[in-house]
Amino acid sequence: MSAQISSARSGAVDKAGEQEPLLSIRGLRVGFRRAGDQFEAVRGIDLDVAKGEVVGIVGESGSGKSVGMLAALGLTSKNAVVTGSVRFNGDELVGKSSREMRKIRGARIAMIFQDPLSSLNPVMTVGAQIAEAVRLHQRVTRKQAMARAVELLHLVAIPQPERRVNQYPHEFSGGMRQRAVIAMAVANDPDLLIADEPTTALDVTVQAQILAVLRSLQERLGLGLVLITHDLGVVAGHADRVAVVYSGRVVEQAGVSELFADPRHPYTRGLIASIPNLEESRERLFSIDGSPPALGRLPGGCAFHPRCIYAEARCRTEDPPLHDIGGRFSACHFATTLPPFHSAALAAAELDSGSMAP
């Protein structure tokens, strides 16, 4: 474990160029106690986000990617046990009091959520909710905060912000609501924005608009952006670096082009192969056999081995740590010896037939 941490950290330092990254997560674990039972939703997340960098976190629903980020912000429920280290601007967040965390949340680190329909309070005007975010962290009058809210709505390209500011969420469309949520998130010029599936609940055309808004803000404000998603397309188009999460752990971390060109973990390969391809008409979409393990019922060894076509005896007993394979990381015993990866479509065909097994 300690070797893993040190190697991961040295890699991160390379990346950020001698200075500590904006956000640095090491060995983050989140356990829940329920009716005497204890299970771990997050079993060790390592992640770095540099200033102004866009990092994608990819994984299936229930893989722990959202819970991990919520835990980093101290937003998990009372029965959660969070261990590990989350350093933000060199400041350790795990173990901070809730009062100290409140000063950071919404001010230095903002987070937005999946469903714009329910992430705004239905009985408060949109403006009042944005102004609240401003007034929670800045000493300004109500009027100044409302003026700032108008400004922010303008910033996220909502037309007629002076009128819109006094409307209620139900008077906004889904895309508009998500824009308002983003406006609220950047109200205090945070350093880091964590977006948890920000486009999942939206129409495809609106998705593109929202991502464009996020990206332009990220560039303009120099935000570090964490994009939590299950959509590899979003990651491919917007992230600088990607962390792939499987059953509560980061299994691969690499620059976005490296990852797509040459994935070094069988799970990543499966994910990329299952992206629908418009040019190549295949009989059916590729999918990884089996389903992710249920919480608290992890198989021994590597959590992915029951679904892995490369699995060997060692994988059933030994859980591979996330290790450095030349400036990138993989948690596979065979990370460096996996056969070459050709293209998504070809890989899908090969993975399907299982002929690539070493």
- In which residue are the tokens 């106690």 written? 33
Stretch that binds other proteins, among 19-27, 178-186, 269-277, 322-330 (CB under 8 A): 178-186
Provide the minimum distance between the beta carbon of 254 and other proteins in the complex, in angstroms, as a whole number: 29
If binding is defined by CB under 8 A, does position 166 make contact with other proteins? no
- Which pair of structure tokens corresponds to residue 122? 């239905």
Provide the minimum distance between the beta carbon of 166 and other proteins in the complex, in angstroms, as a whole number: 11
CA atoms within 13 A on the CB side of 31: 10
Provide the minimum distance between the beta carbon of 197 and other proteins in the complex, in angstroms, as a whole number: 11
- The 1-40 site mask, x for binding other proteins (CB under 8 A), equals ----------------------------------------
DSSP letter for each residue of 262-316: S--SHHHHHHHHTS--SSS--SS----SS-PPPTT-PPSSSTTGGG-TT--HHHH
The residue count for binding other proteins (CB under 8 A) is 32
Q: Which is nearer to other proteins, 115 or 258 (CB)?
A: 115
Choosing from 7, 39, 144, 168, the residue that interacts with other proteins (CB under 8 A) is 168
Give the Cα separation of 210 and 162 in Å (integer): 21
- Name the phi and psi angles at 290, rounded to 5: 75, -175
Give the Cα separation of 43 and 61 in Å (integer): 15
- The 77-106 site mask, x for binding other proteins (CB under 8 A), equals ---------------------x---xxxxx
- The 109-148 site mask, x for binding other proteins (CB under 8 A), equals -xxxxxx--xxxxxxxx------xx--xx-----------
> In whole angstroms, how large is the CA radius of gyration of the chain?
21
Q: Classify 353 in phi/psi space as left (phi over 0), alpha (psi -120 to 50) or beta.
A: alpha
Contact residues: other proteins, CB under 8 A: 73, 75, 98, 102-107, 110-115, 118-125, 132-133, 136-137, 168, 170, 181, 184-185
